[in-house]
Structure 1
Amino acid sequence: MNNPFCKTIKITESVRDMNSKKLMIIKYIVEIALIIFLSFMYYLNQPMKTANVVYIPQGSINKIISQLGHKKYNVSKLDSLILRLVGSPQSGWINVGTSYLTKGDFLYKLTHGKAALQSITLIPGETTYIFFNQLSEKLNLDRGKLQKYYEKYAKYTEGNFVPETYKIPIGITEKELMRLLLRTSHNQMQELSQKIFGLYNEKKWFQYVAIASVIQKESANIKEMPIVSSVIYNRIKKGMRLQMDGTLNYGKYSHLRVTPKRIREDKSVYNTYVHKGIPKIPVCNVSFDALRAAVFPAKTDYLYFMKSKNGTHDFTRYYSTHLKNIHRATK
């Protein structure tokens, strides 16, 4: 005969065992969750070295993390998951404010920070030497480092920058600034070349940059550029030296008046009174108007031009007329 009391005891023990197992499972879950939480907090509090200003490309979170990894930032796939919880990173320059911070602070800055920008304008016809002086003074950057990284990343001595107003993140390093300016300018030149020629041949393109740099230095305005270009091509075709003062306004001499003494004493490749043809190295940074004029010169038979009193140029085919223009301008 079954004993009801014994059954009750067995049921009670079974319930107690089940409750004990449940408590054990809950304990394990809590311990695992605690371990995960502490590991997560430890991960987020890991020290991280970074630039004061970080560039974030447009794209997916995975792409952004991949790009940061290529730039030697200590990031991983776990950071992609964290960013999905925190929010999407902003594209552009992010001001993180310090070189050392925790991983959590870094990820937070990527989603909430934005760099303060300062405008600086590169004027068409300006030399890189003068431009670096301006960058150094206005952005409080080391001019020597600007020159160092320029020489490291630029393929040509001069003419690598597109004249325009640049928005520069405050706090950017000399290295990152050079990479930013060169990359931005290269992309714009490549785009223009593809519009004109249907392709981008860098060597051929910079031959046009060299021609455009002379046009830029010599022209009084955009309207004159194709005409000045025609004079250059016409003189080269006839085997004449260019004999143009603007080519001697290179580098640190960008704003100095060219004197007869300077013409006699300058031994550089830029002296078109001594050397035939276009200087192999561009004289300055050039506008797209000057580049178009270099590619598409006006059809003229002009060989000479002289600045008139109103600031524009008088063009002529004949040397005798040129002498009269010189006389009239200097009276």
Structure 2
Amino acid sequence: MRTILTITFAIFDIAFIIIFTFLSNLVAPVPFKGIVEVPKGSATKIITHFSTAYTNFTPLDPHILDRLGKVQSGYLDIGSEDLTKIDFLYKLTTAKPAIMDITLIPGETTIVFLKELAKNKNLDFIKLESEYNATAPFYEGFLIPETYHMAKGLDEKGIIKNLVEKSNQIHKSLSKKLSDDNKTKWLEIITKASVIQKEAADADEMRVVSSVIDNRIKKGMKLQMDGTLNYGEFSHQKVTPERIRNDTSEFNTYIHDGLPKSPVCTVSVDAIKAAINPADTEYLYFMRDKKTGKHVFTKTLKEHNEQVRIQRKLSN
């Protein structure tokens, strides 16, 4: 009987030590906080990934993780508080994806935006542009300028998918609401909006600039707008007399009639609305006022030349 009791107590002692060690291990602090990257794969693969920074994981931990729930791969925000191991394992199953913001400014060109995106997010520009070409219905002017929120850690395909899907939703909504949803006509509207975007000093001027475009086209006048030459890689380059003389692309409205055949840049919703609903004016010219940064609109060449003279005088 005494021997049985001795063995029983020994078993309890061993069990207590095992349980105590197990529980102590679960409440031990871990070095993880903030945003962590979780690989795709099994619980074992996930634990192995984190073992490079914390060596006290055990063979039981993947089983515990499986019991706690499903883990999303990618970047997760597990918070800024210090965590125990069990807290950390639980956070992996409940934490929300870490979010990154990608901002597209109205008037920027697609190629410049994609190159900046590749540079800032450490991505491959060729992959980005390839994915974009494969999914966007047209290259320039399709992406809608705004701040896009998406999960951090997406690759080139995932980022482009988010950008294209969101932009496509906005295009469909606007085209149905503001026009007859004709794809050819819609591209013409976006093209006009892109010229407005490049030329208008602010949203308040857009409908007036839109009217100038219409008025000049109706009279058979070339648009002769510098902003159309800020296409593609030339987005931020100053338009010089030499560029005007030598650029033979479709975007040179000094030598080609009417609007360009395709958009010049990305366009805001305000520019799209202005393209569809221009102001009712007789203006044919506009000149930027160096004092205000806004434009002075005029009806005749004589009035326009007088404004040119005034602005040149301000420059001297």
Work out the CA distance in 1 between the residues paired with 2:169 and 2:92. Answer: 26
Cα distance in 2 for partners of 1:173, 1:220 equals 36
One-letter code aligned to 1:122: L
How many angstroms apart in 1 are the aligned matches of 2:272 and 2:129?
25
Question: Identity, % of aligned pairs?
Answer: 48
Out of 273-282 and 131-140, give the one that drifted further.
Answer: 131-140
2:218 alignment partner in structure 1: 237
Corresponding residue number in structure 1 for 2:9 = none
2:269 is matched with which residue: 281, 288, 295? Answer: 288
In 2: Cα distance, 1:166 partner to 1:96 partner: 18
State the partner residue of 2:306.
Answer: 324
User: Which residue of structure 1 aligns with residue 126 of structure 2?
Assistant: 144
| 1:275 is the counterpart of 2:285 | no
Aligned to 1:299: 280
Structure 1 contact 96–113 (Cα < 8 Å) conserved:
no
Displacement of 1:311 after TM fit? Answer: 0.8
Aligned to 2:200: 219
Shift of 1:151: 1.4
Q: Which structure has the bigger radius of gyration? A: 1
Change (3 A) 1:194 1:111: farther
2:113 to 131, 136, 155: 131
Give 3-state SS (helix, strand or coil) of 1:150's partner.
helix
Pick aligned residue for 2:166 from 165, 184, 187: 184
Corresponding position of 1:200: 181
User: Structure 2 CA distance, aligned partners of 1:45 and 1:120?
Assistant: 31
Give the TM-score normalised by the residue count of structure 1.
Answer: 0.67
CA contact (8 A) 1:118 1:169 kept: yes
> For the Cα contact (< 8 Å) 2:150–2:162, is it kept in 1?
no
**Alignment partner, residue 52 of structure 1:** none
Q: Which residue of 2 aligns with 1:228?
A: 209
SS in 2 for 1:280: coil
Distance 1:138-1:95 versus aligned 2 partners, 3 A rule:
farther
Over aligned residues, Cα RMSD in angstroms?
Answer: 2.5
Aligned residue for 1:118? 100
Post-superposition CA distance 1:245-268 (Å, at most 9, x none) = 000001111111100001111111
CA offset at residue 157 of structure 1? 2.2
Letter in structure 2 aligned against 1:125: G
Secondary structure of 1:223 counterpart? helix
TM-score by length of 2: 0.70
Deviations 1:70-115 (A, max 9, x none): xxxxxxxxxxxxxxx977x89xxx54469xxxxxxxxx99963532
Q: Assess, with a 3 A threshold, how the Cα gap between structure 1 residues 235 and 112 changes in structure 2: closer, same or farther.
A: same
Unaligned runs of 5+ in 1: 1-43, 49-84, 99-107
Query: What's 2:84 paired with?
Result: none
